[in-house]
Chains A and B, each alone.
Chain A
């Protein structure tokens, strides 16, 4: 049986009868869950989310329930909820669909999450490059406020919480939660050092703060609606619920697919229609530009030593982790045999050189350097030893910066070279324009 989507979050999104207006949402049972949730105890709601096994859909895949449980509730300071809608990882476009097509689902999810965490002011941080999304969200918040679903004394429950839609200024780093918080405060989005600035303790305005991805918050609606046990039945243990995968690149039917865990073959062939005519798949970047690349002809070994092929990779958090990469923001990019891997790498490094915030030395300098080296590899002037230089230099970046984005250069560079060394070295040799190495220059002197 061919694999199919299981649309929960996107159930109505693409249907002709559906619009982003509140009437549409209400017509199909919208906000009923919120109305019910307001009669429950916040700690019970938190427990439901924890039991559901929901993992964050933003990138790291950290348990949402655990994240909520880490919030400092004894400080006496207000607790803030921030919806991270700064979706800027290359190859990722799922939040955009949720915001554009079903904004009230997000708002309901936010209100339930806010109520569950005693939040009285929530923010949606939406990236600058989504002007339409911002307008839709602003309108949706206004509609919900008029209906008494956001704002003062929601549905007569005595609970009040407002939502502020805040537009970023266009920076990849604002997707990192502490960078986002700095930006929301009006500062340069330099990620904060942890310790001490764990958002759950010292977040927005030095108050406890929860930062959740759009998709995570949308899931909260369905968890509360169907109950933790029902939700946990979807997917597989540790990877509960559906996930929206953004498949792009050299594939017949690119797009977003809301699926339960399935194999790579099912996703790429059954749903996405396989490679373009006459082409062969070459590689896959499974979770957004910063993740390690996977070769389609590679064989992987999981922890138990079981070997499996690319086609057998299970597309979820743990499945891709077992293959040595990460599901990240679920932006899956497919490369086929027409792709020059050096060019793909140059493209990725150029992106991170442009988007490095510039706070930490290794990422700031290393990203531009790797861009320059890979550009030479593409356009001429490359040397064979550049491959090792690039590899070694990139290794000095990841894990040595304030935020995890240092890995956004280390992982692509090292995995591309690890897996396609022959091709990259051959390219470097072919594009060499006879530039002399440092040692050669020394000898001449």
Chain B
């Protein structure tokens, strides 16, 4: 049956004799990858233009022959199409599938090609793996083991090139290790829109460098380190800190902005060493900002809250929670939440506010200037989460004049603050002094100083949960490292408090039971659960909120809704 007859728009190609159905024009490297095989490659990157220079992905290609005179397919004696293989190998990365294409990825010729390319790549490579940061995640190591010769025939002097070139504030270059794949150059040109890298000199002496007077200093410079297939580009932050094979990787979400960049947090023995982007074609492709990568440093900040306090004195956790319960008895209680907290936390916080008959729920907005790539205008990663769980109904504001006037008028005498600084949100210190404050938060600030009870909470790296990003995409993060000693998970504290105010609320101390409630209560979350949520997240229906004038502008995979733009102008 021909491809047209099947009518699904797919075509048949044959990889090592096995039929694979795919869309016409699929990139061969991606296609072979999708069927669980590998075509080794250095220069090809799915999110960059094809340059085809490393020659590692050479494969044998064949097409069903056509009679030149009649244009009819040529057939073997048994009626099968006669396949003509090209005499020279072709690069898989520069080849797109067409009907009936045959691909040999394991033939003798292909093996010889790979062996040859590996040998060429290694002859001038310093082979300094023992001191190279890339060791363990190096394509040269992997492919030479897999496809190389195993020994060297090269007895000449190696080409000497610059070592330890500082390309910018965060990136170091070792030219001798460079395989000249040009991924970093293409990234800077095509994604970061900051064309600063290029090759100088010719042939084997080709050298990667910055253009004169330029530096690799854009906020996406560390992506060049990620996509460098070898140890040529290294991060000045991570360099020499830890062997990569010791690192445990935990999927997480970047809290820098409402883009919700998917990340991988690498840690060892409770300490985070680096954050790298995790591929999500709907959100961040394979990129993330440099500024997002250093957010983990905040968990070891000197302002980090690590102890419970009541009336200015250290208190055991249980006693502190008991203290908080007292303040819940106030009838003039207001709740200030944060768009930096997870859907689950905000859900419990909202339940608490309802149970305590809150006179007002507030969320503080943090507007920043986005970069139209992976940093949006909204510094809160979970504004839409707060909307979805019903903690707020309209968009948050940067200041809280309504709360201020209620404090002044005496309508509010207790404020439960979650991870925000009321001073920053426009409440004066005099107004703060008029009310009782219960502060839940990760870091100390003017509000925690003024608080009657301080309950330290966990950072995004120390707990599990979900955020809803600007695209109304629900994305989950997992716990990468344990929190500071003695700290109770926010969800446990909230659950205990809720049980106190609402005795039949049941245990909601972890994300799973909370999701059991959420999927019932919130129509958007129907049929969703934390455990089954895919690592790429789930797209929610944000129609209920589309009328709101969200502050985000265009970013990589996000276009603001047309109405929003009008409202903004």
CB pair A396 B120 closer than 8 Å = yes
B residues 113-170 in Cβ contact with A at 8 Å: 113, 115-117, 119-121, 123-124, 151-157, 159
Q: Which of B52, B89, B157 has its CB near the most chain A CB atoms (within 10 A)?
A: B52
Shortest Cβ distance from residue A21 to the other chain B in the assembled complex, whole angstroms = 38
Q: Report yes or no: B204 in contact with A368, Cβ–Cβ below 8 A.
A: yes
B52 — which chain A residues lie within 8 A by C-beta?
193, 402
Q: A190-B53, A402-B52, A438-B155 are in contact. Are A364 and B91 (CB under 8 A)?
A: no
- B202 adjacent to A355 (CB under 8 Å): yes
Q: Determine whether the beta carbon of B202 is less than 8 Å from that of A356.
A: yes
Q: Are the C-beta atoms of B113 and A171 separated by less than 8 Å?
A: no
Verify B123–A365 contact, CB threshold 8 A. Answer: yes
One digit per residue, 1 when the CB lies within 8 angstroms of any chain B CB and 0 when it does not, for chain A 135-149 equals 000000000000000
- Residue of B58, B151, B179, B203 near A368 (CB, 8 A) is B203
Q: Are A396 and B119 in contact (CB under 8 A)?
A: yes
Q: Is A76 close to B, CB under 8 A?
A: no
* Contact pick for A359, options B53, B120, B155, CB 8 Å: B53
Select which of B53, B87, B88 is within 8 A of A361 by beta carbon: B53
Say if the beta carbon of B199 comes within 8 Å of chain A.
yes
**A368–B117 contact, CB under 8 A?**
no
Q: Is the CB of A365 within 8 A of B202?
A: no
> Chain B 29-40 against A: per-residue CB contact (8 Å), 1 yes, 0 no?
000000000000
Which residue of B is nearest A194, CB measured?
Answer: B94
Interface hits, A369-427 → B, CB 8 Å? 369, 372-373, 376, 389, 393, 395-397, 399-402
Assess whether B514 is interfacial by the CB under 8 Å rule.
no
A73 to B95 CA separation, bound complex (whole angstroms): 25
- From known contacts A171-B202, A195-B94, infer whether A435 and B155 are also in contact, taking CB-CB under 8 Å: yes
Per-residue interface assignment for chain A, residues 170 to 182, with 1 indicating a CB less than 8 Å from any chain B CB and 0 otherwise: 0100000000000
Q: Mark B70-113, 1 if CB is under 8 A from A, else 0.
A: 00000000000000000111010011000000000000000011
| A353 contacts across to B, CB distance below 8 A | 203-204
Inter-chain contact B113/A400, CB cutoff 8 Å: yes
**Contact A364–B204 (Cβ < 8 Å):** yes
Question: Are the C-beta atoms of B89 and A400 separated by less than 8 Å?
Answer: yes
Could you tell me if B153 and A365 are in contact, using CB atoms closer than 8 angstroms? Answer: no
B137 to chain A, nearest CB (A): 21
Closest Cβ–Cβ distance, residue A176 to chain B (whole Å): 14
Q: Quick check: is A188 within 8 A (CB to CB) of the other chain?
A: yes
Cβ of A86 to closest chain B Cβ, rounded Å:
15
B152 near A438: Cβ-Cβ < 8 Å: yes
CB distance from B4 to the nearest CB of A (A): 23
A193 touches B91 (CB 8 A): yes
A368 vs B203: C-alpha distance when bound (angstroms): 8
In whole angstroms, what is the CA distance A358 to B155 when docked?
21
Q: Indicate if A288 sits at the interface (CB-CB under 8 A).
A: no
Q: Does B294 contact A (CB under 8 A)?
A: no
Count B-side interface residues using an 8 Å CB cutoff. 42
A293 contacts chain B at the CB level, 8 A cutoff? no
Q: Smallest distance from the beta carbon of B189 to chain A beta carbons, Å?
A: 11
**Shortest Cβ distance from residue B57 to the other chain A in the assembled complex, whole angstroms:** 11
A376 to B157, CA, bound (A): 12
B53 & A365 in contact (Cβ 8 Å cutoff): no
Per a CB cutoff under 8 Å, which of B50, B155, B201 touches A193? B50
Is the C-beta of A151 less than 8 angstroms from some C-beta in chain B?
no
Known contacts A188-B198, A438-B153; decide if A361 and B203 are in contact (CB<8 Å).
no
Bound Cα distance from A193 to B92, whole angstroms: 12
A369 to B204: give the CA distance in the assembly, Å: 9
Residues of B contacting A171 in the complex (Cβ-Cβ under 8 angstroms): 202
Interface assignment of A367: CB less than 8 Å from any CB of chain B: yes
Smallest beta-carbon distance B56→chain A, Å:
7
The answer to the question of B455 belonging to the interface, with a C-beta cut-off of 8 Å to chain A, is no
Q: For residue B185, which residue of chain A has the nearest CB?
A: A188
Q: Which residues of B contact A357 (CB under 8 A)?
A: 202-203
Collect the chain B residues with CB atoms within 8 Å of residue A372's CB: 156-157
Query: A8 interface residue, CB < 8 Å from B?
Result: no
B54 at the interface (CB under 8 A from A): yes
Q: Which residue of B91, B201, B202 has the most chain A CB atoms within 10 A of its CB atom?
A: B202
Task: Say yes or no for A255: interface residue by CB 8 A criterion.
Answer: no
- Does A61 interact with chain B (Cβ within 8 Å)? no
Query: How many angstroms from the CA of A331 to the CA of B159 in the assembled complex?
Result: 32
CA of A401 to CA of B116, assembled, Å: 12
In this complex, what residue of A is CB-closest to B179? A361
- Among the listed A195, A354, A402, which residue makes an inter-chain contact with B202, where contact means beta carbons less than 8 Å apart? A354
B123 near A362: Cβ-Cβ < 8 Å: no
Q: Is the CB of A400 within 8 A of B53?
A: no
Min Cβ gap B42→A in Å is 8
CB pair A396 B123 closer than 8 Å? no
B121 touches A361 (CB 8 A): yes
Residues in B neighbouring A356, C-beta threshold 8 A: 202-204
Question: Min CB distance, A209 to chain B, in Å?
Answer: 20
- Any chain A CB within 8 A of the CB of B323? no
15 CB-based A-B contacts, threshold 8 Å: A188-B198, A188-B199, A193-B50, A195-B94, A357-B203, A359-B180, A361-B53, A361-B117, A364-B120, A364-B203, A365-B120, A365-B204, A399-B89, A400-B58, A438-B151
Nearest 6 pairs of A and B residues by beta carbon? A396-B116, A358-B206, A365-B120, A368-B204, A356-B203, A399-B88
- Mark A residues whose CB is within 8 Å of B: 171, 188, 190, 193, 195, 353-362, 364-369, 372-373, 376, 389, 393, 395-397, 399-402, 435, 438
